[in-house]
Amino acid sequence: MRLQAVSGPHRAVLALGSNLGNRRENLQGAIDALADTPGIRVNVVSPLYVTEAVGGPEEQPAYFNAVILVDTFLPPEMLLERANAVEEAFQRVRTEHWGPRTLDVDIIVYADRVSDDPQLTIPHPRAHERAFVLAPWVDADPAAEIPGQGRAADLLAKLGRTGVERRDDLELRLPE
């Protein structure tokens, strides 16, 4: 993949999830891989959360979830390409909608951009409905907002934290 820079940097929020394999190592590996990408700087890593699976087949293992805040010179489409490449590096297989996965990397917001492009909808179309995205995001950035939806903390307060547990004993680290 050839990376092309755009003016910036732009702040982006990425949500990470894993419910197969060594879930913590999968998330940390994704953080490290994204940080190793020219044009991406990982600035903040949220605490890790353990969450119940939402949607998809029943009896899925629990997810580990986190959010990272990055500054990037990559346009959103290239950031998505990189996120997909990182998923593939961790053997992400897309066989079942909302099925179990080794790694999921979603772009939640990209600056204040709003787009309904079917390849990359920004902000993420369901982020405002998902406590497993909002809880770690609010920890990472208490003033966070989703364009067109409002403050992440207010959205989380409406949803509640049922099925979403912060795990301070399972640390993710900012890349060196």
Q: Which of 23, 82, 104, 139 is catalytic?
A: 104
- Averaged pLDDT of the chain: 90
* Catalytic residue, candidates 11, 24, 41, 92: 92
Res 41: pLDDT: 97
Q: Which of 106, 130, 139, 141 is labelled catalytic?
A: 106
What is the average per-residue pLDDT within 59-76? 93
92 is catalytic: yes
48 DSSP 8-state letter: P
pLDDT at 172: 96
Long-range CB contacts for residues 153-161, cutoff 8 Å, separation at least 24: 155/128, 156/131, 159/129, 159/130, 159/131, 159/134, 160/131, 161/131, 161/135
* Full-model pTM: 0.91
Q: Give the contacts of 107 (CB within 8 A, at least 6 positions apart).
A: 12, 13, 14, 76, 79, 80, 83, 120, 122, 124
The reported pLDDT for the residue numbered 1 is 45
> Would you call 104 a catalytic residue per the annotation?
yes
106 as an active site residue: the answer is yes
Burial class for 96, CB neighbours closer than 10 Å (0-12, 13-18, 19+): exposed
Higher per-residue confidence, 117 vs 37: 37
For range 59-69, the mean pLDDT? 92
List Cα–Cα distances, 100 to 19, 73, 138, 173, in angstroms: 6, 31, 25, 24
Task: Please report the pLDDT score of residue 8 as a whole number.
Answer: 76
Give residue-wise pLDDT tens across range 15-33. 999 999 999 999 999 999 9
Two tokens at 40? Answer: 């991406």
Quick one: which of 64, 145, 156, 155 has its CA closest to 111?
A: 145
User: What type of residue sits at position 31?
Assistant: I
The pLDDT tens digits of the residues spanning 123-160 come to: 999 999 999 999 999 999 999 999 999 999 999 999 99
pLDDT tier at 102, thresholds 50, 70, 90: confident
For residue 31, give the nearest of 147, 173, 157 by alpha carbon: 173
